[in-house]
Structure 1
Amino acid sequence: MSSEPTLAEADLAALVPEWIDWAEAARRLEVTVAKVRTMIRDHELAAAVPVAGKGQQIPAEFIQHDGLVAAPVKGLPGLLTMMHDNGYDDREIIAWLYLDQDFPGRGIDALVENRGTEVKRRAQAMAF
């Protein structure tokens, strides 16, 4: 029996270096908080409670700035949808993206660096 914590048990506060609340995400994306809520519901962004009592927050790295436009990191919405379809929740997906998966490095780094193909392939393989 493994003593490794499951994705759901991962310490998100230790894994994710910077969290932002929904209001800050809305400010960065230049949308309303209601739109951020919709983006989370539609799996364009993911949110979790990193520390008990803090409320849901979003990893800051999920929002990327390409020149003048801010948007979810390329490939993130498709990955979130695929993983949700395979039974993972936002907390588990965030943990998976921030754990070292030999991509090389973390999945979030691969997405930010536009190397998302391998991340998606590995996420698909997790369904089997």
Structure 2
Amino acid sequence: MSFAGTPETPNGTTAGALDALLADETLLTLPEVADYLGIPVTRVHDLVGAHKLVFFRRGGKKFVPQLLLGEDGELSKFVAGVITVLSDGGFDDDEILAYLFTPDETLPGRPVDALHGHGAREVIRRAQAMAF
């Protein structure tokens, strides 16, 4: 993905392309994620370090798309699983977010949406195939 005049990140995804994918998403700061999950912000950093959660940088601040979190103040196990699989396969945070939020007509919809429904297992299977 590339937009003219937009700086490219080391992984080949442009910052503008990812920003466009997440433009309509609810983005939470790390302290807001901590409040949502009912955990200390240091634990949110641990989840990021353990490749259970990824964040997006905008204006020098770190944000997590709310769709990466489960309902009722929990971390989505399916989302965390896909993040771990892709991270272990060499994908960086921007590439993981681009995969999760890019529409895929074969699902149909976006992988992140499928992870919250009946398509979770298919998204995980595809992530495993992509990563290895």
- Shorter-chain TM-score range: 0.7 to 0.9
Contact kept in structure 2, 1:7 and 1:95, CA below 8 Å: no
Candidates 125, 128, 131, aligned match of 1:124: 128
User: Does the 8 Å contact 1:7/1:96 carry over to 2?
Assistant: no
Does the 8 Å contact 1:12/1:95 carry over to 2? yes
Q: What is the TM-score of this pair, normalised by structure 1?
A: 0.83
Aligned to 1:62: 68
Q: State whether residues 15 and 98 of structure 1, in contact with CA within 8 Å, keep that contact through their aligned partners in structure 2.
A: yes
Residue of structure 2 equivalent to 1:100: 103
Deviation per CA, 1:38-90: give whole Å up to 9, x if none.
Answer: 011111211121x3x23221011111224xxx112231121111101111011
Is 1:84 the counterpart of 2:92 in the alignment? no
Superposed CA RMSD: 1.8
Measured in 2, the distance between the counterparts of 1:114 and 1:57 equals: 27
The alignment's TM-score, normalised by the length of structure 2, stands at: 0.81
Match of 1:8 in 2: 13
More deviation in 5-14 or 71-80?
5-14
CA shift for structure 1 position 114: 4.4
Matched length: 120
* Distance in 2 between residues matched to 1:60 and 1:7, nearest whole Å: 25
Distance 1:79 1:28, change over 3 A: same
Match of 1:39 in 2: 47
Return closer, same or farther for 1:123/1:41 CA change in 2, 3 Å cut-off.
same
Gaps of 5+ in 2: 3-10
Q: Which is bigger in relative contact order (C-alpha 8 A, separation at least 6)? A: 1
